[in-house]
C-alpha cells in the first residue's frame, strides 16, 4: 500500500497551509484556546497517570504549535518531541514559551506521521489529539506508532470524532463564527447537529483540501484498538449543546443497561479518547536520551541512523541533512520537503515570504497581518505573474479571506479569475471566512493571473477600495 493512499500529497500541502494560518493568525485567541486544550488534556493524563507510567521519551504527533508537548515538558518534567507537518506552526512554540513563562521545550520536528523519523522501539509515550481523523487509513498511523513505541509503551489519543447516528445529513455547516444567524439559533438549541451532514466545521477545513475521516463509530475504534494493543482504557465525551441534545443524552443514558454514555455516543456522536499499551515487558531506554536525542531518530529517506554536528545539524550517511531552522528540524522525506517547503520560487506568491513582491503586477495594497496570517487586500482587480518550473500539467491555487464588509453591499460576492487573458473560472462566495479557489491551467511557460472581485466596499476612514484579501497564489501539479 502506498503512503499517499492514507494521506495524499495534496492533502499534506493543504494541512501545512491551514495549520500555519490557524496556529499563528490570531495570537491572543489561539493562546487562550491552547491553554484551555492543555487543561482538558492534563485532566485526562492525570486520570490515567497510573496506567501511562513513565513518559520520557515522548512524542506528540500532529502537535500543531506543540502546546501539549510543552505541557508534558513543564508540568510533568518529561523529555520528548513535538512533531507536525507544519514547521511554521511548530516555530510558534517559542511564542508560547515566552507568553507562558516556561522553562523547558520539546524538540520540535516537522515530520510525517506515516513515516515517523524515529528508530524502532525508541519511545515510551506517544500522544495525538484531533489528528487521526485526518487520515483516510487511520490504521496506517497506528501501525507506525506501534513501531516506534518500546514494549510496554503507551499510545494516548483523544478528541477524535465519533460518527453520529441521529442526523438527517442535509447540509454541511461551518464553525460557529461563520454560521448564518438561523444556524446559530439551531446550534444554541442543540438541534443543528440533528440536521447537518458531518462534524460542524469540517467543511471549512475541507475547503482547503484537507480530507477528513468521520466514518468511525465506537465499534470501529474498539476493534482497531483491540487489534493492535494489549491493554486499553476508553473515554467517551458526548455533547450537550442546548436543550435538545441534553434531553436525548439523558434518555440514552437512562436506557443503557450499564448507565454508561456508550449508547448516547452512538446516537449523538461526540469525541473518543483511548489510552493503549503495547504488548511486551516495559523496556529500559537510555538515560542520556535528552543529551543524545539524535540516537532516537532515523533518516526519513534511507532509515539509517542520524548524527548531530556542533552546529546542531542532523546528518545521514546517504547525504540527507536537516539544519536547526528557527528551533525546528525538518525531517520530512526529501521529495515531500521540496514540495511542502519550496521557499521563494517563481511559481509561488506567498505573502508571508520576502521577495514575493517581484511577481506582483498591479492592484495590490500593502502587506498586512502577523505570523502565518500575512496577506494583501485587493480592490476590484489585481494581477500577478507566475512562471512554470516543470513539465507536469498545472493547476492554479488561490487562498484568501472574505470579510463581513463584502457581504453587506447588497450584492452576492463573486470572484472571477483570468489566466493569460482567458477565464479560468468564476466563484460565488457564500460565507464570511477563508476560501480556496483552484482551476486547471493550459500549457504555457508563464501565467499572468488576473483576479476580479466584487462588490467593492470601503472601511472609513480607510479610503482604499476593498474586496477580499489574498495570502497565497501558486502553481501545483494537477495530480499532486
Residue of 406, 397, 453 lying closest to 432 (CA atoms):
406
pLDDT of residue 4: 42
The last residue of one of the domains, among 219, 250, 277, is 277
State whether 93 and 215 are in the same domain: yes
Query: CA torsion sign, 57 to 59 to 63 to 68?
Result: negative
pLDDT, one tens digit per residue, over 110-131 is: 999 999 999 999 999 999 999 9
Q: 418 phi and psi, to 5 degrees?
A: -115, 135
Which has the closest alpha carbon to 211: 140, 138, 134? 134
CATH number at residue 458: 2.60.120.260
- Regarding whether 262 and 364 lie in a shared domain, the answer is no
Collapsing DSSP to helix, strand or coil, 480 comes out as: coil
Q: Residue 365 domain-assigned?
A: yes
pLDDT bucket at 371, cuts 50 / 70 / 90: low
Residues 235 and 353 in one domain: no
Give the per-residue pLDDT at 2: 40
Query: Contact at 8 Å (CB) between 239 and 271?
Result: no
Range of the domain at 443: 348-477
Judge whether residue 429 has pLDDT over 90: yes
- Give the contacts of 181 (CB within 8 A, at least 6 positions apart): none
pTM score above 0.95? no
Based on the fold, state whether residues 30 and 166 are members of the same structural domain: yes
Is 199 a residue whose pLDDT tops 50? yes
The rounded distance, in Å, linking the Cα atoms of 308 and 287 is: 18
Write down which residue in 261, 277, 293 finishes a domain. Answer: 277
Tell me whether residue 151 is in a domain.
yes
Judged against a pLDDT cut of 80, whether residue 383 lies above it is answered with yes
Q: How many domains does the chain have?
A: 2
CATH code (residue 58): 3.40.50.150
Among 277, 293, 316, the domain-final residue is 277
Whole-number Cα distances in Å, 68 to 25, 74, 83, 161, 362:
19, 10, 11, 19, 43
Residues 266 and 354 in one domain: no
Task: Report which of residues 352 and 426 the model is more confident about.
Answer: 426
Please check whether residues 265 and 373 belong to one and the same domain: no
285 lies in some domain: no
**Contact criterion met (CB below 8 Å) for 81 and 309:** no
**pLDDT value of position 372:** 62
Cell numbers of 207, please? 475547503
One domain for residues 101 and 235:
yes
Residues 271 and 368 in one domain: no
The HSE-up count of residue 96 (CA atoms within 13 Å, CB side) is 28
Instruction: Check whether residue 108 and residue 22 sit in a common domain.
Output: yes
Would residue 318 count as lying in a domain?
Answer: no
State the residue for C-alpha cell 515570504. Answer: 353
Amino acid at each position: 500500500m502506498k503512503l499517499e493512499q492514507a494521506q495524499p500529497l495534496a492533502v499534506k500541502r493543504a494541512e501545512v497551509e491551514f495549520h500555519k494560518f490557524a496556529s499563528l493568525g490570531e495570537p491572543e485567541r489561539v493562546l487562550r484556546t491552547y491553554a484551555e486544550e492543555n487543561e482538558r488534556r492534563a485532566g485526562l493524563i492525570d486520570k490515567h497517570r497510573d496506567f501511562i507510567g513513565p513518559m520520557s521519551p515522548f512524542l506528540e504527533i500532529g502537535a500543531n504549535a506543540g502546546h501539549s508537548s510543552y505541557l508534558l515538558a513543564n508540568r510533568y518534567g518529561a523529555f520528548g518531541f513535538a512533531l507536525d507537518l507544519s514547521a511554521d506552526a511548530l516555530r510558534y512554540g517559542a511564542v508560547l514559551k515566552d507568553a507562558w513563562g516556561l522553562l523547558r521545550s520539546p524538540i520540535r520536528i516537522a515530520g510525517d506521521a506515516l513515516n515517523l523519523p524515529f528508530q524502532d522501539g525508541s519511545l515510551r509515550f506517544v500522544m495525538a489529539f484531533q489528528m487521526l481523523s485526518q487520515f483516510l487509513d487511520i490504521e496506517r498511523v497506528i501501525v507506525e506508532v506501534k513501531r516506534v513505541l518500546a514494549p510496554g509503551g503507551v499510545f494516548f489519543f483523544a478528541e477524535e470524532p465519533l460518527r453520529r447516528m441521529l442526523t438527517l445529513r442535509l447540509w454541511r455547516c461551518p464553525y460557529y463564527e461563520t454560521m448564518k444567524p438561523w444556524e446559530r439559533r439551531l446550534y444554541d438549541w442543540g438541534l443543528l447537529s440533528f440536521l447537518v451532514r458531518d462534524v460542524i466545521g469540517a467543511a471549512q477545513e475541507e475547503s482547503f483540501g484537507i480530507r477528513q475521516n468521520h466514518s468511525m463509530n465506537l465499534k470501529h475504534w474498539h476493534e482497531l484498538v483491540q487489534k493492535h494493543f494489549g491493554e486499553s482504557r476508553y473515554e467517551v465525551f458526548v455533547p450537550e449543546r442546548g436543550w435538545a441534545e441534553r434531553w436525548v443524552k439523558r434518555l440514552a443514558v437512562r436506557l443503557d443497561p450499564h448507565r454508561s454514555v456508550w449508547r448516547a455516543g452512538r446516537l449523538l456522536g461526540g469525541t473518543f479518547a483511548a489510552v493503549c499499551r503495547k504488548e511486551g515487558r516495559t523496556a529500559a531506554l537510555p538515560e542520556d536520551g535528552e543529551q543524545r536525542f539524535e540516537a532516537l531518530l532515523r533518516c526519513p529517506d534511507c532509515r539509517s541512523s542520524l548524527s548531530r554536528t556542533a552546529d546542531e545539524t542532523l546528518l545521514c550517511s546517504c547525504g540527507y541533512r536537516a539544519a536547526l531552522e528557527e528551533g525546528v528540524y525538518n525531517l520530512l522525506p526529501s521529495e515531500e520537503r521540496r514540495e511542502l517547503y519550496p521557499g521563494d520560487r517563481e511559481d509561488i506568491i506567498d505573502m508571508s515570504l520576502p521577495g514575493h513582491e517581484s511577481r506582483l503586477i498591479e492592484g495590490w495594497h500593502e502587506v498586512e497581518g502577523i505570523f502565518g496570517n500575512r496577506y494583501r487586500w485587493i480592490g476590484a482587480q489585481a494581477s500577478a505573474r507566475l512562471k512554470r518550473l516543470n513539465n507536469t500539467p498545472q493547476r492554479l491555487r488561490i487562498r484568501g479571506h472574505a470579510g463581513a464588509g463584502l457581504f453587506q453591499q447588497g450584492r452576492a460576492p463573486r470572484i472571477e479569475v483570468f489566466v493569460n487573458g482567458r477565464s479560468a473560472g468564476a466563484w460565488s462566495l457564500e460565507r464570511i471566512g477563508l476560501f480556496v479557489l483552484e482551476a486547471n491551467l493550459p500549457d504555457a511557460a508563464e501565467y499572468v493571473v488576473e483576479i476580479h472581485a466584487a462588490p467593492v466596499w470601503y472601511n472609513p476612514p480607510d479610503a482604499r477600495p476593498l474586496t477580499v484579501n489574498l495570502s497565497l497564489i501558486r502553481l501545483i501539479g494537477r495530480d499532486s
